[in-house]
Amino acid sequence: MKTLMLGAAMAALSTGVSAQTIGFSQIGSESGWRAAETTVTRQEAEARGIDLRFSDAQQRQENQIAAIRSFVAQGVDAILLAPVVATGWDSVLEEAKEAEIPVVLLDRQVDSSEDLYLTAVGSDLVHEGAVAGQWLVDNKPEGACRVVELQGTTGSSPAIDRANGFRQAIEGTPDIEIVRSQTGDFTRSGGKEVMESFLQAEGGGDNICALYAHNDDMALGAIQAIKEAGIDPGDDILIVSIDAVPDIFKAMAEGDANATVELTPNMAGPAFDALAAYMADGTEPEKFIQTESALYTQDDDPMAQYEARKDLGY
Ligand code: GZL
């Protein structure tokens, strides 16, 4: 093992990056996007000669807290945390700070004080919701448009912020009304089950103009439910969501989905770069390193978008 470690250290030094051991507390594998984030993080670590200690929390905060404590006990050089929910992190982040181990947040935010983490790498989650809402404002049919909403994990920053952003965007369009809203926990199965209950409660799809899903996986599950009800997704019910995973582009090409807002799975690259600078000479990064959010629709050659993403680990 020693020889292996030395080899890794030498390889890392050859790339000008000190050999680092970094703990990664990942939420789980609830969505295609999450799987891609894990794949890309492993690739970015390998490219930098970083020894990545990976923990899958199965979407449970207590498992993430235990993983962080374990990383602290192991004396890792830094910790990556994708926090499943926004609250409840103060004490464990204090422990990492006490141990002088920098923490970088990936793709979600925490309510803790900024001095408890080095930086956060992620998208503007409110803006993502607003882009989705603006697409509906610009593309809804004439007259009243009753919307059902599949929310992300309750208490997570994307669920809170994407809900707020969408509502801000539709505020000036009284024809658009969100009539049902429920969490599908960012999973396909959750999206399917909740969409089935929406359709049952609404007596079918005639009174539903659009679905806004906080991620593509819930939208894809909902599309299945809509089809099984004999309704035409993408036409009878417009579908707008977020992530830009390959399968949503396949759905778009088939006319079953209308729009998605891209979320890059590469949060780790900017995180590792910020850590390298900080650990080399104490360079303090900005507290928020923002990633882009681009809108894609059926007009953007969906199958080309699918081909460009299908091998990225989703
Ligand atoms: C958002 C990210 C979300 C993705 C989902 O930044 O945390 O978590 O949109 C994933 O696919 O479950």
**The predicted structure's pLDDT at residue 13:** 40
**The predicted structure's pLDDT at residue 81:** 98
Domain borders along the chain are 2-122+265-283, 125-263+298-309
Q: Cα(280) to centroid of ligand 1, in Å?
A: 31
Confidence grade of residue 10 (pLDDT, cut at 50, 70, 90): very low
What does the block give as tokens for 106? 């990936």
Cα dihedral sign, 170-172-176-182: positive
**The predicted structure's pLDDT at residue 18:** 55
Q: Please, which residues bridge with residue 119 across strands? A: 104
Question: By CB neighbour count within 10 A (0-12 exposed, 13-18 middle, 19+ buried), where does 3 fall?
Answer: exposed
CATH, domain 125-263+298-309, list 3.40.50.2300, 3.50.50.60, 3.40.1160.10, 3.40.50.300 = 3.40.50.2300
Cα–chain center distance at 3: 38
Cβ atoms 268, 45 nearer than 8 A: yes
Q: Is 34 in the pocket of ligand 1 (CB under 6 A)?
A: yes
Cβ atoms 108, 122 nearer than 8 A: yes
User: Measured from the CA of 82, which atom of ligand 1 is nearest?
Assistant: 7
**The predicted structure's pLDDT at residue 9:** 46
Of all protein residues, the one whose alpha carbon is nearest to atom 8 of ligand 1 is 34
Confidence grade of residue 4 (pLDDT, cut at 50, 70, 90): very low
Q: Which CATH class is domain 2-122+265-283?
A: alpha beta
DSSP state of 285: P
pLDDT tens-digit profile of 233-285? 999 999 999 999 999 999 999 999 999 999 999 999 999 999 999 999 999 99
Of all protein residues, the one whose alpha carbon is nearest to atom 3 of ligand 1 is 158
pLDDT tens-digit profile of 203-229? 999 999 999 999 999 999 999 999 999
pLDDT tens-digit profile of 94-134? 999 999 999 999 999 999 999 999 999 999 999 999 999 99
* 160-179: burial string, b at 16+ Cβ within 10 Å, e else: bbbbebbbebbeeeeebebe
Cβ atoms 306, 245 nearer than 8 A: no
Alpha-carbon distance of 291 to 119, in angstroms, equals 13
Give the residue with greater pLDDT, 8 vs 312.
312
Q: Cα(34) to centroid of ligand 1, in Å?
A: 7
Q: How many residues does the chain have?
A: 314
Alpha-carbon distance of 237 to 222, in angstroms, equals 11
pLDDT tens-digit profile of 52-93? 999 999 999 999 999 999 999 999 999 999 999 999 999 999
* 110-126: burial string, b at 16+ Cβ within 10 Å, e else: bebeeebbbbbbbbbbb
pLDDT tens-digit profile of 145-183? 999 999 999 999 999 999 999 999 999 999 999 999 999
pTM for this predicted structure: 0.94
